[in-house]
Structure 1
Amino acid sequence: MTDVASPTAARSRRRTAARVIAVTAAAALLATVAVWIPGVVGTAASVVLPWLGIVLASLVVLAFVRARRTLLLLLVPVLVWLLTLAPSAPGFAASVDGPTFTVVSQNVRAHSGGAATSAEQIAVSSPDVIALTELDGDSLASARSALDERYPHSYAVGTVGVWSRYPLTSADALSLGLDWKRALRVTVQTPDAEVAVYVLHADSVRPGQQQGRDTMLANLADAVAEDSASSVVAVGDFNAASADPALGDLRGELDWVRPTDGTLGFTWPAALPLTRIDQVFARGLDVVSSGTMRAGESDHLATVTTFGL
């Protein structure tokens, strides 16, 4: 009886494993494809997308151990996942011999009282430009006190501010479709080139409420499309994961800056980063390095990007 029952039980386990693999693989494929759907579905799927790799890797291991015939079944979801994640995958640093331009950007979390600490810790690395978002009145004053001596050229409006080592030859507030200003554009006059820098604090995303953010991102894409500057950088809190379809128009105008530190550049929440919602885009510049850093008590990591001019 034991000799008969054992093969039967083994076949039953293989069938059960095959069903689990098939159902889970189908769910992972649907979640991956959902990233291409505009609106709340695509926004939610873009946050989950990187983590689907763990699910698919686990299915591959399970298939090797319990149901090898299902490996072919896994080929489609794995390939679709790889192709969908590819535009948000890590990149490689460019090698440049000339001057560089470093921009650090962080959401300092309004009413946290940590803007000064963030500003001071960021300034230690001596970037050329510091962009801060989610500023309130007190945090703006604290940031100014911490930075104005070392970064004499600055401009702030609404919840965003920028500090520069180099002169700002123009500075404009941008509403990008909202009733109040949450973005700006400045021209930074470095010794070697002019760089147009956009700083964005996109509207928040909540269940059933993301139109404000989508409008801002679409209008930012329109703004940079009309910008005649040869070198453009856009940084800030976009409130959109890297694969979010709402970033599609902006990706058509600027290059999404890939992290060069071998990670996916997750920035939020700072205690255990699960997604990248603080983005960096550029045009006309080579990326020398791109990564993140902890600064202050914010719930966002800062993005640190160095460009070759």
Structure 2
Amino acid sequence: MTQADRTDRSTAGPWGEESAPAPAGRPGGFLGLRHWGRDGRGATTWRRGLVLAVLAALTAGLMAFHAEVPNSVGNLGSLLETFLPWLGLAVPVLLVPALLRRSATALIALLLPVAVWLNLFGGLLTDKSGGSGDWTVVSHNVAAANTDVPGTVRGLVASGAQIVALQELAGKALRGYESGLAEAYPYHAVEGTVGLWSKYPISGVSPVDLKMGWTRAFRAEVTTPQGPVAVYVAHLPSVRLKAEGGFTVDQRDVSAQALGDAIQAEQLKKVLLLGDLNGTMNDRSLAPVTSQMRSAQGAAGDGFGFSWLSSFPMARIDQIMSKGGLKPVDSRTLPRDGSDHLAVAATYRYSS
């Protein structure tokens, strides 16, 4: 091969066309500046990646207008809102091909979902806890299939909480919680499959009808050193994702309305809600409750505080909420135990 042949091959493009060598001193690597001009087909960096740009815009639109996604078909709106923060993963997924395509259009379009996601969830990324509180509360779906009741009891006592609400209590496990928590919490009440343990006196216990046919919620009055607080313990019906019916939430939504009505009719000013609501604060179907209550995680947490599944938390469906002058100063999840949920905890300051 002659020197001329070697020179010709060194300047040939990947499809045989001539391409000029990179000028001296100009970046020319895989993503170097010289690659951001026209490609072998003549498309500029502004013409490439249009499909990626459309996908980025659609992602931003879904997050920004999630409330407009209808629930009439498979309750898609509630399904989307349950896992809404995870839509942010579309950004790195789309970023890689945008860089590979060297598309300025796609990269600029990706700023849209980034901006919307930060507007919706950026506030959750900062630690909002601060100051001392008067008492700590814990809510935990201990799971009926929990095979380590003693370990769960030890974790609850170690939390230092003054008030503990449990869901999915049944049979032998219930007796284990009653005996295990008795020394640390001298007062307790159980209605159906939900219970409340407290270092402070409990009175005025009455079931809340969730329209289910059995008791999974009740109201009690806890007399704290700072004054009485109405405490609601609730376990709303489970939701299911089915191939035929989509996201089945009808019974949960009926119960959410009943719970919201009970809280709205509460006579005491200061109210706590502790429980597994089987839905997130973003889920429109929980509006009868969330519209009148303040989330401890949103006000005083650090991060998303996902509580389910415990092995790989994906959503915050276990909630601690309040209204009427109870100020959350800290919110967190507790270490994993034998349940498929993580316990959630919050510290409150009692204000007049």
- Give the TM-score taking structure 1 as reference length: 0.88
Q: 1:3 and 2:34 equivalent?
A: no
**Would the alpha carbon gap of residues 201 and 110 (structure 1) be closer, same or farther in structure 2, given more than 3 Å must change?**
same
Q: Which residues in structure 2 correspond to 1:1-309 (within 5 Å)?
A: 1-3=17-19, 7-9=38-40, 12=43, 14=45, 18-32=49-63, 33-37=65-69, 39=71, 40-59=75-94, 63=98, 66-85=102-121, 92-96=128-132, 100-207=134-241, 208=245, 209-258=248-297, 260-283=300-323, 284-309=325-350
Report the CA distance between 1:258 and its aligned residue. Answer: 2.3
1:117/1:296 contact within 8 Å kept: yes
Once the two structures are overlaid, the 10-residue window that deviates more, 241-250 or 64-73, is 64-73
2:56/2:113 contact within 8 Å kept: yes
1:91-143 C-alpha deviation (Å, 9 max, x unpaired): 622535xx612111111110323333212211123211111101111221110
1:63-99 C-alpha deviation (Å, 9 max, x unpaired): 5772223455345444444444468776622535xx6
**Distance across 1 between alignment mates of 2:163 and 2:336:** 15
Once the two structures are overlaid, the 10-residue window that deviates more, 73-82 or 234-243, is 73-82
**Partner amino acid, structure 2, of 1:28:** T
How many residues align structurally?
Answer: 307
Q: Secondary structure at the match of 2:56?
A: helix
Q: Secondary structure at the match of 2:39?
A: helix
Name the structure, 1 or 2, with higher relative contact order (CA <8 Å, separation 6+): 1
Identity of aligned residues (%): 32
Structure 2, unmatched stretches of 5+, are: 1-16, 21-34
**Would the alpha carbon gap of residues 303 and 282 (structure 1) be closer, same or farther in structure 2, given more than 3 Å must change?**
same
Q: Secondary structure at the match of 1:111?
A: coil
2:187/2:198 contact within 8 Å kept: yes
**Distance across 1 between alignment mates of 2:188 and 2:267:** 22
Q: Give the number of the structure whose alpha-carbon radius of gyration is greater.
A: 2
**Distance across 1 between alignment mates of 2:295 and 2:130:** 15
Report the CA distance between 1:178 and its aligned residue. Answer: 1.6
Structure 1 residue aligned with 2:25: none
**Would the alpha carbon gap of residues 135 and 88 (structure 1) be closer, same or farther in structure 2, given more than 3 Å must change?**
farther
Once the two structures are overlaid, the 10-residue window that deviates more, 23-32 or 77-86, is 77-86
Bigger fraction of residues in helix? 1
Q: Secondary structure at the match of 2:256?
A: helix
Aligned CA RMSD, in angstroms, stands at 2.8
1:224-273 C-alpha deviation (Å, 9 max, x unpaired): 11112121111111111231111222222111222544210001111111
- Give the TM-score taking structure 2 as reference length: 0.78
1:89/1:258 contact within 8 Å kept: no
Structure 1, unmatched stretches of 5+, are: none
**Would the alpha carbon gap of residues 155 and 49 (structure 1) be closer, same or farther in structure 2, given more than 3 Å must change?**
same
**Distance across 1 between alignment mates of 2:18 and 2:209:** 75
Q: Secondary structure at the match of 1:8?
A: coil
**Would the alpha carbon gap of residues 212 and 147 (structure 1) be closer, same or farther in structure 2, given more than 3 Å must change?**
same
1:140-166 C-alpha deviation (Å, 9 max, x unpaired): 111001011221111111111110000
1:178-220 C-alpha deviation (Å, 9 max, x unpaired): 2111111111101111111111111010134311111111221
**Distance across 2 between alignment mates of 1:251 and 1:242:** 7
**Distance across 2 between alignment mates of 1:258 and 1:228:** 25
